């Protein structure tokens, strides 16, 4: 509309809408919720990783104990005599016991074999160790007639954690108990048992 003075009167400009967006409190709230969700997911991933490590460690320990028991079984099958001790001071053992307690003593055609438990000679081993003193094995896997060797078969054993007891006629019960430290929790106890046929 044109007025008498030649100017524009009554002209209405279109209203500008306010730009769509989020306010600062809304942004802070969304940021906090996002951080909380990320923290929960990270904790879940870390817990899953720790559980995986525990499971892998458990499987490794069970495999090591299984190998030790398999070796004991093969030695037992070749034995001509079986005793739960090698005398008061271990006179029949082929190696020095160094204060370790005899768990099982076998007499074989290749020489005596003594399984003992006690403190390890080197600090690289955990807790008590199960040691085998007896003939070494050749490249073909058969026992040799050479000098007897003393070897650690399993570490991390609890005090008195290795037993070999006759269980009925012709059966030997072998039990190994490992005590493994778990960070921030009580130590985990693993028990490995086998009933082995005697010769």
pLDDT tier at 170, thresholds 50, 70, 90: confident
Question: What radius of gyration do the chain's Cα atoms show?
Answer: 36
Domain-located, residue 77: yes
Please give the residue that has the higher pLDDT: either 69 or 8.
69
Over the stretch 24-41, which tens digit does the pLDDT of each residue have?
888 889 889 999 999 889
Whole-number average pLDDT of the chain: 82
Domain-located, residue 106: yes
Over the stretch 102-157, which tens digit does the pLDDT of each residue have?
899 998 888 889 999 999 888 899 889 999 999 888 787 778 777 788 899 999 99
Domain-located, residue 7: no
Domain-located, residue 179: yes
Domain-located, residue 151: yes
Domain-located, residue 79: yes
Put simply, whether the predicted model's pTM sits higher than 0.75 gets the answer no
3-state secondary structure (DSSP) of residue 43: helix
Domain-located, residue 104: yes
Please count the other Cβ atoms lying within 10 Å of the Cβ belonging to residue 1.
6
What stretches of 119-170 adopt beta strand conformation (E)?
A: 128-134, 149-166
Residue in 62, 71, 80, 68 with CA at minimum distance from that of residue 137: 71
Domain-located, residue 147: yes
Report the domain count for the chain.
Answer: 1
Which pLDDT score is estimated for 4? Answer: 54
Reply yes or no on whether the pLDDT at 14 is more than 90.
no
Residue in 198, 160, 153, 196 with CA at minimum distance from that of residue 177: 160
**Rounded to 5 degrees, what are φ and ψ at 116?**
-140, 160
Domain of residue 105 covers: 41-197
């Amino acid at each position: 509309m044109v007025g008498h003075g030649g100017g524009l009167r009554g002209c209405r400009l279109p209203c500008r809408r306010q730009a769509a967006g989020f306010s600062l409190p809304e942004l802070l709230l969304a940021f906090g919720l996002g951080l909380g969700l990320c923290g929960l997911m990270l904790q879940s991933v870390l817990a899953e990783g720790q559980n995986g490590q525990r499971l892998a460690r458990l499987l490794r320990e069970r495999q090591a104990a299984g190998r030790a028991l398999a070796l004991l079984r093969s030695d037992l099958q070749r034995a001509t005599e079986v005793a739960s001790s090698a005398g008061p001071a271990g006179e029949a053992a082929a190696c020095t016991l160094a204060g370790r307690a005899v768990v099982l003593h076998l007499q074989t055609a290749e020489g005596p074999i003594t399984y003992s438990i006690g403190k390890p000679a080197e600090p690289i081993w955990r807790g008590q160790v199960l040691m085998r003193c007896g003939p070494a094995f050749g490249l073909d896997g058969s026992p040799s007639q050479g000098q007897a060797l003393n070897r650690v078969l399993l570490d991390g054993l609890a005090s008195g954690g290795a037993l070999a007891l006759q269980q009925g006629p012709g059966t030997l019960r072998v039990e190994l108990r490992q005590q493994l430290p778990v960070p921030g929790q009580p130590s985990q106890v693993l028990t490995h048992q086998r009933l082995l046929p005697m010769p």
